[in-house]
Structure formats: structure tokens, C-alpha cells
Amino acid sequence: MTQPLEKEAQAGAAAGTSGVPRRTLLRRVRSTATAYGFLVPTMALVLTFFVIPGILLLILSFTNLASVNFGDPWNFIGFANFERLFTDRFFPKILRNTVFYVFTTLILFNLGLALVLAIVTTNIPRRAGFFFRLVWLLPRLTPSVVYILMWRRIGQAEPYGIYNQLFPEFLGASGGNLFLGGSPWTFVILTNGFVGASFGMIIFTSALLSIPEDLLTAAKVDGASAWRIIRDIKLPLIKWPLLFIATYQTLSLLTSFEYILLLTEGGPGLFTTEVWALTAYKRAFATYAGNSQWAFGATWAIVLVTVALFFAVIYVKLFKFDELVEEPRIDNL
Amino acid sequence: MRVELDNLSKAWDGVVGADRITLEVADGEMVAFLGPSGCGKTTTLLMVAGIYRPTGGTISFDGRVVNEVAPKDRGIGMVFQSYALYPHMTVFGNISYPLRLKRLEKGEIRKRVEQVADMMGIGDLLDRRIAQLSGGQQQRVSLGRALVKEPQLLLFDEPLSNLDARLRLAMRGEIKRLQNDLGITSIYVTHDQVEAMTMADKIAVMSKGVLQAYDIPEALYDRPKTLFVAGFVGNPPMNFFDVEVMLLGGEFHAKNESLDLIVPDDRAAKAAAKEGRVVMGVRPEDVDVADDSSPRVEGLTLSAKVEVVEPLGREDLLGVVVGGVNVRLLVDKTKRAKPGDLVDLVFNMDNVQFFDPETEESLLWA
């Protein structure tokens, strides 16, 4: 490769300045063409399976397409779906549920428990740490239907649920119907949190283990207690993994609904544990009197995606991801 | 502060890191722990720092056993090979961290940090981030952080190993001067015997977790107590020959198949008392190449072929082979030795060493 290039350059230099620009331009076009060539397969995939469906979904949200009028030409109804969404009697409740579900699970489990697990399992003997992390990975390895079935067996009301059978009077007021019956949110958040915590746990563990031992020794010698080492040294040094997990898990919690669907179907009662993504799913795919409201479901999804994008931008701005790039060092004595 | 290690040991699942180390560091002294990688020097240092818990023996500061005292309560400052600076803090943040942990008042912290920073010549860098500093500057910050809390004992863990050669030389002098001026008792871990010889008041030579010798540098060089010390202290290292020492015609001779050298009586007598073969050690500077004018003294001259010549600038390091043994010698570069030359070697036997081949202990100084 280099030889012809060198020859060309030499020839160009020998011919004087006039011949050089055209050749370099030609070469530049050729090399960018190669670069684009490599991008084509990925771009095609993204376009086909992400951008185009996204645009279709957006268009869909302005129609009244449903299973009852399937086959008819698309009937555009303007912002009617959006109006219907925001004036929905249960819209405030769904919004509140979603915010509560996302941030409670995120803070208590996906970040909080994950961090505690990572710190604890890196401060006990290696094998024990490995064992406990493996145990905490089990929920993620279990198929969701199996996993939720187990939780339902634990949390159902008497006489089916193990927990309520064993402790019918636990915490007094439950009356043998704690959890799924009495406090369904506890169960929704526990089931999601136990799965969600493992991701952060793995990332935080590797980040914590990559902190040089010397830094921790230095901090101990400097007079830091175990708590101060966590606060002053460990947490700041795993700042980027923390922010990454916070961003990633907010977005994935916003769009996740399958555990809730399997566990409570949004109940018990009306919209008690129904979150936005679940509503979108139900409107689009579940039938109301034999009718699947595809367009209305698409509207819920579009608004949700917009909200998620908004959060993503806020996180990127707030956490200054561009500062990850370090300034060059000045090398002298 | 006076530091005493008494039978200090550390073992992990049967692997011995340090084996019954006993030594004393006098107040204000600088002691080097010298040895190859894995000899236990850093293990011992980390026990003194309180990071590792000894599995046997005691550490005492000024006569008080500190085995159970936490690192933060030992009054120590520590400097690391990796600098171990907190990358998310500024220079000021790093140096002030020990003081902030002590909850000193803000003005006092700033005053003391500035004082130390000026002493280290980094007063204008206090607002810089660590990643913006060069290696030398980082090591100064690290020293500043160790000094700012006015420690009773300074621990250095190969502090100069990551610096380039010139900077290492400069920092070596600086650390020594600082330690002298401040009079802080110091322990300095290094694998570089030049660093140990030039900086330390006393050197503890360690190998495989065992303290081989603990003495002043000159003593280690002139009167090595073990074969290991003789081979490790000194650069280029001492040459060793398997010989038999015997009295022949009123003079002591060190003999084997390929050499026969006359040895001064005082040294040879002790070696001759030992039955059979002994290990004879001769330093590279005690072997010279004879030129036309130098006298060939019978019994001190030996001919050999030059294999390698390494010019060191002031002198040449020659590699020759004597009876199948590689011998290294330092000669004046005016001798102009070339590979392949047949030369006469002249031995100065006044500093010759003898060791027991089984116990590896010196026959002269044990």
C-alpha cells in the first residue's frame, strides 16, 4: 500500500504544485467512499429496523388504524389520539405510577442495591464474593415467566401464597393478603429490582476492582475510615459507571413492562400498578371488545419515546459525558 | 521515631512473604530495604504501615507495640511507585486530604498545604488536575501529601522506579536532602542497589522473605556476610570462582583447574581452614587488564580472551572467560580492549571474599 502512495507523492512533488491538489482530492473521495462502504451494512440495519419503523409509528399515531378498520385506507385524524391520551381519566395515575415505579426501582435497587452488593462482594474473600454475585445473577438468568410464577406463588393471598400462609398476621393489618393483594407495588418493585440490581452490580464490581490497590492504601495511611474511603475515593472513581447505569436503567425501566404484565397485569383493581409502557402495549395489542387500537397504542409509545429522549438529553447534559476526555498532560519537571 | 521489628513474619496459606525479620531503625535514620522482586521488602513495609496484619512477631514505635494500631493512627506518611494520587482531586485536594480528614480548620489547611507545596517546588500547580502533571511533578505532590501531616515515619515504596533516569538522579538527591533536613525516620524500599547505597544510612538486604544482612552500606560492600549480599550489592556484580585454598611454599594459593592466585595471609587463613572447595569472590574493579608497562607478578596474573566490551564512557566493562566462568571487570578505557583480544588479567587480591558453598555464609565475616 505505502509504496504506490509514496511514488505518487514523489511524482506530485516533482511535477510542482499544480498536479497535487487534484490527486489528493481524488484520493480523499476514494478513502471516504471506502469508509462509507464499511458503514453501509450497519446503516441499512438501523434504517430498516429502527428509523423506518419509528417514522411509521409516528405516522400511525395520527390515524385511527385499529383491527376493526384494518384493510381500509389510513384515515388521518390529526392530533385526536394525543388529545385522547392527555385527557384520559387515568392518564395522571399512569404518569404518577410510571414516575414512582421508575425512580423507586432505580434508586433503591438498580443503583442502591447494586452499589451495596458491589461494595460488599468486593470486600469479602474473593470466592465468597463471586458466589454471592452469581446468586444475585440468578433472577436475570431465569426466564421471566418462571421467575414471575415463583413470585406469585410467594405473594398471592391465602391460601395460595406461601408468605401469606406462613405469616397471616405479619405486620398486623395484612389479614393474610399482604403483597400482591395488600401492597402490590412492593412486589412490582421487588421483582423488577432484584433483576435490575444485577446489571449495576456487575458493572460496579468491575469498576471497583479496577481501582489501584495503592490508592486505597494511600487513603488508609492518610487517615480515611472505611466509610470515608467509599465516599471520597471509591464513589468518585466509579462516577462514570454510576452515571452510565443511572442513564441506561432509567431508559430501560421507562420502557419495561413484561414483569408487571405477568405479575399484576396493572392491577389489582383499576390501573393500580399500570405503567406507561404497559398501557401502550395493552392499547395496541390487547383487545377491547375485540378491537386492538393500534394507532392509539402507537400514540402512547411515541409520547413515551419522546419522554425517554428528553431524559437521555438531560442526563447527557447533566452528567457532562463530554468531560470524559482528559486534557493532555504537560511533560516537564 | 525509633522503629523496631522483632521476628516479624507474614504468611498467606503457607506462602511466606516475610520470615522473622528483626531489625531496628534509629530515630532520624534512613534505612533501605533492598532486594529483588518478591523478596518481602514491600510486604514488610506494608506491615509497618499497618496495611498487612503480621502473622507473627511485633512492630514497635518508640518501644510501643503497634501491631493492632490502624494505619491512620500510626503517624506515618507514605510515597508510592505509582504515586497513588487521587485522580479526581486537584493537587491542592490531594495534599490537603490528610488534613481534611483530621478536620483541621480551613485557613490552617491552606497555610500548611502552601508551605509544603513551596518546599516541594509545586506551589504554582495547586489548582492543576493530576492528569495534567508530569511524572516528576506527580511524585512531588505525592511527597507533599506524605509530609503535610508532619509524620513521625516516612515510608517509601520504590518511589523513583517510574521516573526516567535523569529525573531519578535529581529526585534521589532531593529526597535525601529533605529527609536530612527534616530528620524524619524513613524506610525506603528499593530493588536498585545504587539508590540504597547512596541514600540510606543502613541497608537491610532481603531475599525470599529473609533478612540477609543489615548494616551500613560500606560494610555490606566490603564485608558481605552472605553470598547473596555479595552478589546483590555492587554493580556490576561480584565475580565468583570455585577454588581450593591451600598453603604452598609459605604462601596461600587459591587454585582450581584454570587459575592459581596468591591470596593475602589474613584472608586466606580462614578460607584454608575449611575443607574442600570454597567460593571466592572478586569485585570487577579488582581485576585489571595489564598493558605493556605493567609488571606481570607471578601468582596474580592470568591470561584470558575478551568476549564482550561494553563502553560505559569513563571505563569499559569487559566480559572475559576464565576456565568456563564468565568474569566481568572494569578497566580504564585507554586499555582499548577489543572482543577476541588475548589479554593478561591482573588481580588485586586485597579485597577478596570467601564463602562456604553449602551455607553460603562468608568465611571471613560470619
pLDDT in tens, B98-122: 999 999 999 999 999 999 999 888 9
Distance from CA of A327 to the nearest CA of B (A): 7
| Chain B: closest CA distance from residue A133 (Å) | 25
* Domain termination residue (choose one: B213, B232, B251): B232
Q: Which secondary structure element, helix H or strand E, spans residue A157, and what is its range?
A: none
Question: In chain A, which residues have their Cβ closer than 8 Å to the Cβ of B147?
Answer: none
Asked if B72's CB is within 8 angstroms of A224's CB, the reply is yes
Q: Do B97 and A222 touch (CB under 8 A)?
A: yes
- With beta carbons under 8 A apart, name residues in chain B contacting A215: 84, 86
* Residue B366 is assigned to a structural domain of this protein: no
* B363 within some domain: no
Task: Let me know whether B132 and B196 are in one domain.
Answer: yes
- Indicate the residue among B207, B232, B257 that finishes a domain: B232
B122 vs chain A: nearest CA distance in angstroms? 10
Enumerate the residues of chain B whose CB falls inside 8 A of the CB of residue A220.
50-51, 70-72
A-chain CB neighbours of B136 within 8 Å are: 332-333
Give per-residue pLDDT as tens, A76-90: 787 777 878 788 888
pLDDT of residue B280: 92
Residue of A nearest to B131 (CA): A329
- Residue A7 is predicted with a pLDDT of 45
Closest in B50, B84, B131 to A218, CB measured: B84
Whether A233 and B86 lie within 8 Å, measured CB to CB: yes
pLDDT of residue A257: 86
Q: Which residues between 235 and 264 in chain A have a beta carbon less than 8 angstroms from any beta carbon of chain B?
A: 236-237, 239
* Shared domain check, B190 and B101: yes
CATH number at residue B323: 2.40.50.140
Give the A window 205-234 contacts with B, CB below 8 Å.
212, 214-215, 217-225, 228, 232-233
Full residue range of the structural domain in which residue B39 is found: 3-232
Q: Do A237 and B88 touch (CB under 8 A)?
A: yes
Whether residues B20 and B147 fall in one domain: yes
Residues B224 and B247 occupy one common structural domain: no
All cell numbers assigned to A268: 389489582
Chain B environment of A327 (Cβ under 8 Å): 129, 131-132
Q: Which residue of B has its CA nearest to A215?
A: B84
Q: Which residue positions in chain B have pLDDT lower than 50? A: none
A14 touching B (Cβ < 8 Å): no
Name chain A contacts of B75, Cβ cutoff 8 Å.
none
B210 and B296 both lie in a single domain: no
Contact B277, B352 (CB under 8 A): no
Residue B121: closest C-alpha in chain A: A333
- Give how far B140 is from chain A: nearest CA, Å: 10
| CATH code reported for the domain at A91-273 | 1.10.3720.10
B220 with B287, same domain? no
Residues of chain A with CATH 1.10.3720.10: 91-273
SS3 B261: strand
Residue A222: closest CA among chain B residues belongs to which residue?
Answer: B98
- Count A/B contacts: CB-CB distance under 8 Å: 80
- pLDDT < 70 positions in chain A: 1-22, 157-160, 164-165, 167-182, 287-290, 321-333
Question: CB–CB of B86/B97 below 8 Å?
Answer: yes
Domain check: are B249 and B192 in the same one? no
Q: Shortest Cα distance from A103 to chain B (angstroms)?
A: 28
d(CA B95, CA B90): 9
pLDDT digits (tens, 9 = 90+) for B207-247: 999 999 999 999 999 999 999 999 988 888 999 999 888 88
Q: Report the pLDDT value the prediction gives residue B364, as an integer from 0 to 100.
A: 85
**Best B42, B100, B127, B150 residue to mutate vs chain A (most A CBs within 10 Å):** B100
Q: For the purposes of burial, counting CB atoms within 10 Å of the CB of B107, is it exposed (0-12), middle (13-18) or buried (19 or more)?
A: exposed
Q: Which residues in chain B are contacts of A212 at CB distance < 8 A? A: 82, 84
Name the pairing type of β-strands B301-311 and B353-355: unpaired
Q: Please state the φ and ψ torsions of residue A253, each to the nearest 5 degrees.
A: -70, -40
Q: What is the pLDDT of residues A62-79, one digit of tens each?
A: 888 777 777 777 777 877
User: Is the Cβ–Cβ distance between A118 and A208 less than 8 Å?
Assistant: yes
Q: Report the residue of chain A nearest B157, measured CA to CA.
A: A214
Are A215 and B137 an interchain contact pair (Cβ–Cβ within 8 Å)? Answer: no
Q: For residue A246, give how far its alpha carbon lies from the nearest alpha carbon of chain B (Å).
A: 20
What residue spans of B122-232 are helical by DSSP H? Answer: 135-147, 165-182, 193-199, 217-222, 227-232
Domain count, chain B: 2
Q: CATH code at B47? A: 3.40.50.300
For the purposes of burial, counting CB atoms within 10 Å of the CB of A258, is it exposed (0-12), middle (13-18) or buried (19 or more)?
middle
Q: Do A217 and B98 touch (CB under 8 A)?
A: no
Tell me whether the omega of the peptide bond preceding residue B236 falls within 30 degrees of 0, making it cis.
Answer: yes
Residues B346 and B325 in one domain: yes
Chain-centroid distance of CA B308 in Å reads 27
Burial (0-12, 13-18, 19+ Cβ within 10 Å), B73? exposed
Distances (CA, A) of A72 to A283, A296, B2: 20, 17, 95
Please give the ipTM for the structure prediction.
0.81
∠ at Cα B154 (B148, B156), nearest 5°? 115
Contacts of A226 in chain B (CB under 8 A): none
User: Which one of A223, A225, A236 has the shortest CB-CB distance to B98?
Assistant: A223
Residues in chain A within 8 Å Cβ distance of B80? 214, 217-218
Do B142 and B27 lie in a common domain? Answer: yes
Per-residue pLDDT, A114: 93
Residue of A221, A234, A240, A320 to mutate, interface with B, max B Cβ within 10 Å: A221
Which chain B residues have a beta carbon less than 8 Å from that of A210? none
User: To the nearest whole percent, how much of chain B has pLDDT over 90?
Assistant: 49
